Amino acid sequence: MPFTFKQFHIDDQGCGMPVSTDAVVLGAWAPLTQAKQILDIGAGSGLLSLMAAQRSTAHVTAVEIDDAAIQACQRNIDASPWADRISLIAGDISEIAAQQSQRFDHIICNPPYFETGPQSDKTGRATARHTDKLTFAALTRAFDGLLSEQGKITLILPIESLAAWNKALEQTLQLTLLHQCDVVSVRGKAAKRMLLLLGRNRATPAQSQLVLREPNNSYSQEMIALTRDFYLFM
């Protein structure tokens, strides 16, 4: 059953945030179809968990730390066709990784990435967007502790965060970049986001590009093909 966004709940503090292009592109691009155990770190209002459940037959574990987002996430899970395949865990992913014995064959994450700059006066939204609550170093350690031997990780980051991300990744010798897809918002402009696929098996990283919109602001054909199961294109 295709997932639609019309009745998707966000919390009243804005932590869950409106449905974002970043999350939709990440959820559609990630190679999830063969996964059996998927982990969604920083689930927010549950968008990625629902997309993962729709695109696979996996059991999905959603982890979220913010109380308001947790409530919105559980409402969205309960209202979905996949409630029996999605479990929500409330807590800090670093603490959970230290206690969790289960390993996942795919981890998906739309992490906080703004290292500097003004923070929202809404605590939940600031936590979701800034790395002071979940640093890249802490995130890579959690990835390493929770990923199965043949598992994969998919995330999305701004291009300007690449140096900081690579520095954190270098400290986790078990993880390596497998694919980087630069995301261009409008054809002809510079990429502002990057989709990353990580794993444990070292290989020459693949490179690709995804253009979201044409100069006339219409969706590109590649964006339509990637996300047609989640958007209703006119």
Mean pLDDT for the chain? 85
| Confidence label for 17 from pLDDT (cuts 50, 70 and 90) | very low
Q: Does 8 fall in a domain?
A: no
pLDDT at 230: 81
Q: Does 91 fall in a domain?
A: yes
Instruction: Pick the range with the lowest mean pLDDT from 16-20, 70-74, 150-154, 160-164.
Output: 16-20
Q: Does 177 fall in a domain?
A: yes
pLDDT at 18: 56
Q: Does 48 fall in a domain?
A: yes
166-218 confidence digits (pLDDT tens): 999 988 878 999 999 999 999 999 999 999 999 998 889 999 999 999 999 99
Which range marks the domain in which residue 110 is found? 21-227
Q: Does 93 fall in a domain?
A: yes
Q: Does 159 fall in a domain?
A: yes
- Between the alpha carbon of residue 221 and those of residues 80, 82, 187, 212, 233, the distances in Å are 28, 29, 12, 8, 11
**Residue 168 CB partners (closer than 8 Å, separation 6+):** 135, 136, 137, 139, 140
pLDDT at 114 over 50: no
| Sign of CA pseudo-dihedral 69, 195, 35, 91 | negative
**In the chain, pLDDT over 70 holds for what percent of residues?**
82
- Three-state secondary structure call for residue 71: helix
pLDDT at 11 over 70: no
Average pLDDT over residues 131-158: 90
Q: Does 95 fall in a domain?
A: yes
| Confidence label for 133 from pLDDT (cuts 50, 70 and 90) | low
Structural domain count, the chain: 1
33-71 confidence digits (pLDDT tens): 999 999 999 999 999 999 999 999 999 999 999 999 999
What CATH number should be reported for the domain holding residue 151? 3.40.50.150
| Higher pLDDT among residues 21 and 17, named by residue | 21
pLDDT at 153 over 70: yes
pTM of the full predicted structure? 0.86
**In the chain, pLDDT over 90 holds for what percent of residues?**
73
Q: Are strands 193-199 and 147-158 parallel, antiparallel or unpaired?
A: antiparallel
Q: Does 4 fall in a domain?
A: no
Determine how many CB atoms are found less than 10 A away from the CB of residue 34: 11
pLDDT at 131: 43
Average pLDDT over residues 109-116: 69
